A and B are shown apart, each in its own frame.
Chain A
Amino acid sequence: MPILCKAECGNKATLKRPKTADALCKNCFFNAFELEIHETITRSHLFKPGQRVAIAASGGKDSTVLAHVMKLLNEKFNYGLKLVLLSIDEGITGYRDDSLETVKQNRDDYEMELKILSYEELYGWTMDRIVEKIGRTNNCTFCGVFRRQALDRGAQLLKVDCVATGHNADDIAETVLMNILRGDTARLRRCTDIKTGGAENSIPRVKPLKYTYEKEIVMYAHFKKLVYFSTECIFAPNAYRGHARAFLKDLEKIRPSVIMDIIHSGEQLQIRESVKKPIRGICSNCGFVSSCQPCKACVLLEGLNRSLPKLGIGKRSKSEKMKAQQDLERQVILREKANLVKNDF
């Protein structure tokens, strides 16, 4: 005996929404799903008419659904936005080159301009080469730091007013948990913000899927037959996040509202004024947003170019020592060379 749709449309229900426990049919689910994102967008004033908005597109489920829904809502509710796709090519053979094919499909399906920006052209290094150099520890640090800045650079190139990312409710709840576990008060302050950046020189980032459950995103993509790329990155997946994720999924099984509850907790947390806050400024070297001088991307890059890849991974004082040590060694070598030249005569 089939369960009927809670919206009383007369259709058979096809899924149980984790967020509300309502049994809905496909069409009523599509409606509810899209309208909730629309409400999030309007309630938080994420966009203004006439804006150019880049959708950070990875080819994965979240950004594929985001691109689809943004196009749909933009047309349905006359947001008046110009939507473009922005992808970052980390240079990971067999992973990113495949997922970029999915993004190109999105470009054609949704008739949006697409800009692909590679680590190679931005930093002179692909992730393949970085891993060759540094091995498989800390490679996710490099990738994460470079990606964050690459999005800013891409947004600047595309001259957009804001970047929309596909972070979903599960991602945000996970991040809240991780930041609590690490005692990272600086990130805890802003990880639940639906809009970040936007101050001097930095292009705002928004998360229209902030309150959208992962299960619903996957169900939506499945029922709409959206094609997305779902292969795990071939370089060590983030183990720490993996544990936080498994823990959250276990909790969700017992109590589906836990995801919204954790986001809510994150939003309600207040951090004492006396706790040191990083000051967001501009990197004196590359000119992009950073809370340290020079920015993390510049330090990591210097490490790669100097063949001191540990630079920027540990403490700053240690990095300074490593650099000084290398400079000293180089001077000694130069002096010895100079001596050799002298002795030739």
Chain B
Amino acid sequence: MLKINLDFSGGAEVLFNNIKKRQLSLESEKKWTLRDFLQYMKENLLTERLELFIQGDSVRPGILVLVNDIDWELLGELDYEIKQNDNISFISTLHGG
């Protein structure tokens, strides 16, 4: 199993049942890219309207994604391959001010 930790903040948690932190185990027979994982989130974790989190096959602009505290823009974004014990953070910049 591929174990990962997720955290949601900046208002992104509202889209996921208000849970800020969670652990997940993914089937590890196949490789998981962030693209695959977003699809998984869409089908299994998201509790609010889809368009508030997903746009096309990526996250909605204004939602920041970090893996192990590194900006996913430095990691190949959707093509990044998830590794054992990765910490994936989703931070909304769209809420409050």
Interface set of A (CB-CB < 8 Å, partner B): 2-3, 12-16, 23, 58, 60-63, 99, 166, 171, 214-215, 217-219, 222-223, 228-232, 245-246, 249-250, 252-253
Count of A-B contacts with CB under 8 A? Answer: 75
Alpha-carbon separation in the docked complex, A245 to B60 (Å) = 12
- Closest B residue to A233 by beta carbon equals B96
Alpha-carbon separation in the docked complex, A230 to B61 (Å) = 17
Q: Mark B54-96, 1 if CB is under 8 A from A, else 0.
A: 0000001110101001110110000000000000010111111
- Closest A residue to B51 by beta carbon equals A246
B9 within 8 A of A: yes
Instruction: Say which size band chain B's interface belongs to.
Output: 20 to 34
Q: A14-B70, A218-B64 are in contact. List 14 more A-B contacts (CB 8 A).
A: A2-B70, A13-B74, A15-B70, A16-B73, A23-B74, A58-B96, A61-B96, A61-B97, A63-B97, A215-B93, A223-B69, A231-B96, A232-B96, A245-B94
Contacts of B73 in A (CB 8 A): 15-16
Contacts of A16 in B (CB 8 A): 71, 73-74
Could you tell me if B97 and A62 are in contact, using CB atoms closer than 8 angstroms?
yes
Could you tell me if A253 and B61 are in contact, using CB atoms closer than 8 angstroms?
yes
- Closest A residue to B94 by beta carbon equals A245
Alpha-carbon separation in the docked complex, A231 to B60 (Å) = 18
CB distance from A270 to the nearest CB of B (A): 29
Show 19 A/B contacts (Cβ-Cβ < 8 Å), sorted by A. A3-B74, A14-B69, A14-B70, A14-B71, A15-B71, A15-B74, A16-B73, A16-B74, A23-B74, A63-B97, A99-B96, A215-B93, A222-B9, A222-B91, A230-B11, A230-B95, A232-B11, A232-B96, A245-B62
